[in-house]
Amino acid sequence: MKDPRSADELVSAYVDGELPPEEAARIDARIARDPEARAAVDDYRRLDRLVREFEPPVISAKRWARVRAAVTSSAPPRLESTDQVRRRRWNRIFRLRATAFAAGLLAAAACGLFAVLPRRGPVEPPPPPPFELDVEPDSRYIPQIMTSPDGEVVGITVLSLPGDDEEVAETPKKKDAPEEHE
């Protein structure tokens, strides 16, 4: 399997003394023949020294005392005694049991309610309003089936035949009625 670490990473780890002896020996050999690797090793060591030399500004005793007071004035947590731990555990168990009991009660009440409530059948839709034809009295009507262009039945209507139709308008004459003369 290929080592995921790059050759340069190994040089960096070599500077820090973090390589096992056999790997360190390989880097030793590389440094001896590769001036670039040698320069990198020297620079890494100088860099560490340089950073280490820079100490932060000194903090006065008075300031440290202020920070210490701020830090120690906050309330720290306290170690619980065995009794406290036991009590807390029992409290937790009690709360769990109480919750389970309450949930059981609720479930039982819901079941009871379901059993007691009267059951109703399925609700039927209201009947449609009676069909009324808007027709003229004393007329004759012929029912008509309405179809779409595809021949599908879409409704029913009536054909009204008003009195101007000769056949329809002809009403039977009374036998004893006198004839009209112009």
Which of 28, 36, 42, 136 lies at the binding interface for other proteins (CB under 8 A)? 42
Does 36 participate in binding other proteins (rule CB under 8 A)? no
- Residue 43 interacts with other proteins (CB under 8 A)? yes
Both tokens of residue 51? 């950073």
The reply on whether position 136 binds other proteins by CB under 8 A is no
Q: Give the H/E segment covering residue 168.
A: helix 166-169
Give the residue with the Cβ less far from other proteins, 64 or 101: 64
Distance CA 17, CA 6 (A): 17
When binding is defined by CB under 8 A, the residue of 20, 35, 57, 121 that contacts other proteins is 57
Q: How many residues make contact with other proteins (CB under 8 A)? A: 37
| Calpha distance 93→85 (Å, rounded) | 12
72 makes contact with other proteins (CB under 8 A): yes
Q: What is the largest CA-CA distance in the chain?
A: 150
- Among residues 178, 176, 141, the alpha carbon closest in space to that of 160 is found at 141
Asked if 44 interacts with other proteins (CB under 8 A), we say yes
Cβ(30)–Cβ(8) below 8 Å = no
Pick from 2, 61, 62, 79 the residue near other proteins by CB under 8 A: 79
Among 25, 29, 32, 48, binds other proteins (CB under 8 A): 48
> Of 78, 65, 14, 22, which is closest to residue 42 (Cα–Cα)?
14
Residues in the chain: 182
Give the interface with other proteins as residue ranges (CB under 8 A): 4-6, 8-9, 12-13, 16, 18, 40, 42-44, 46-48, 50-52, 54-59, 63-64, 67-68, 70-72, 74, 76-79
